[in-house]
Amino acid sequence: MADQTRHICGISGGKDSSALAVYLRQTRPDLDIEYFFCDTGAELPETYTYLNKLEGVLGRKVTRLNAERGFDHWFEVFRGALPSPQMRWCTKNLKIKPLEQWIGDDPAVSYVAIRADEANRKGYISTKPNITTEFPFIHAGIDIDGVNKILDDAGIGLPEYYEWRTRSGCYFCFYQRKAEWVGLADRHPELFDRARQIEMKVLSEAGVDGDASYVDFGMKGRAYTWSQGETLDELLARRSEIMTQHNAALERAKKSRRNLPLFVALDEDDDTMPCAVCAL
Ligand code: SF4
């Protein structure tokens, strides 16, 4: 009987997983790999564009996995609490659940894009016994330069959002830096405004009238603002201070990582862990 094991490769819309998809296609052309993307419905337009380009390079469809119920549903279930690093209901319900449903009980090998130069980083590793995990970049010693080369040689380069943001993921991702919120306001004002409206709803239901200084941020597991300690309006009012600090951080990153695009360099210098499913 033929081997029924499925081979799956998750694509986040970021550089590492995209490069892995290309790498697997090149090095294991006979393997029937299923490429998938967990679509929260809140991804950046640049991510969707890049996925289309990637499909062209792979000559394969990237299956979009959508949760049966989207952000608005779970936002209600969690009684209007924004997702946060302490309460990451978004990843669990919008990414992991649809993925595990899609795989079901089929035996599967999942290829994860952790690079050789970041072996301490954690990717999404399923606890389901039918899923085993492989790390091709670690085995092949492929590092950040190797990833960039794979994408350049394939002719797709980096996703465009790296011009102003370090990581893939939802437009409202609470892991983004304050300067990235400013970038969102500049590049996608309608998305920034959507995030702002959600935040205003949360604050109004919490009985807070738009001024984050009144919010009790000590309540464990609850978040009233997307960005730590201030509303998006307050953040935008501090635009020039935020961008001054950010430009200084970019200068530092430039010195330490001369051969990388600036926003990639900034991410490489960052030891805060983003969403493991979303950001590889
Ligand atoms: S990208 Fe951010 S907001 Fe979106 S699912 Fe991942 S952690 Fe949550």
Write the pLDDT tens digit of every residue in 198-211. Answer: 999 888 887 766 55
pLDDT at 220 over 60: no
Distance from C-alpha of 128 to C-alpha of 228, rounded to nearest angstrom: 34
Read off the pLDDT band of 68 (50, 70, 90). confident
H/E element holding 181? Answer: helix 178-187
The mean per-residue pLDDT over the stretch 223-246 comes to 91
Would you kindly state where each structural domain of the chain is located, as residue ranges?
A: 6-162, 178-268
Averaged pLDDT of the chain? 86
Identify which of 173, 198, 273 to mutate to test ligand 1's pocket (most ligand atoms within 8 A of the CB): 173
Over residues 215-231, the mean pLDDT reads 67
| Smallest CA separation from ligand 1 atom 3, residue | 173
Is ligand 1 within 6 A of the CB of residue 166? no
Looking at per-residue pLDDT, the higher value among 35 and 249 belongs to 35
Indicate whether residue 91 lines ligand 1 (CB < 6 A): yes
Bigger pLDDT: 86 or 29?
29
Asked whether the predicted pLDDT for residue 222 surpasses 70, the reply is no
Q: Residue 230 pairs with which residues in a beta bridge?
A: 227
pLDDT score for 269: 52
Is residue 165 lining ligand 1, measured as CB closer than 6 Å? no
Mean pLDDT over 47-73 rounds to: 93
Residue 51 has pLDDT above 70, yes or no: yes
**pTM score > 0.85 for this model?**
yes
173 lines ligand 1 (CB under 6 A): yes
The H or E element spanning position 36 is: strand 33-39
Which pLDDT belongs to residue 271?
Answer: 46
- Distances from the Cα of 79 to the Cαs of 75, 183, 213, in angstroms? 6, 29, 22
Tell how far the Cα of 89 is from the centroid of ligand 1, in angstroms: 9
Contact 165, 279 (CB under 8 A): no
CA distance 93 to 121: 22
What CATH number has the domain spanning 6-162?
A: 3.40.50.620
Residues 147/137, Cβ–Cβ less than 8 Å: yes
- The answer to whether the CB of 170 is under 6 A from ligand 1 is yes
Pick left, alpha or beta for residue 260 (phi over 0 → left; psi -120 to 50 → alpha; otherwise beta): beta
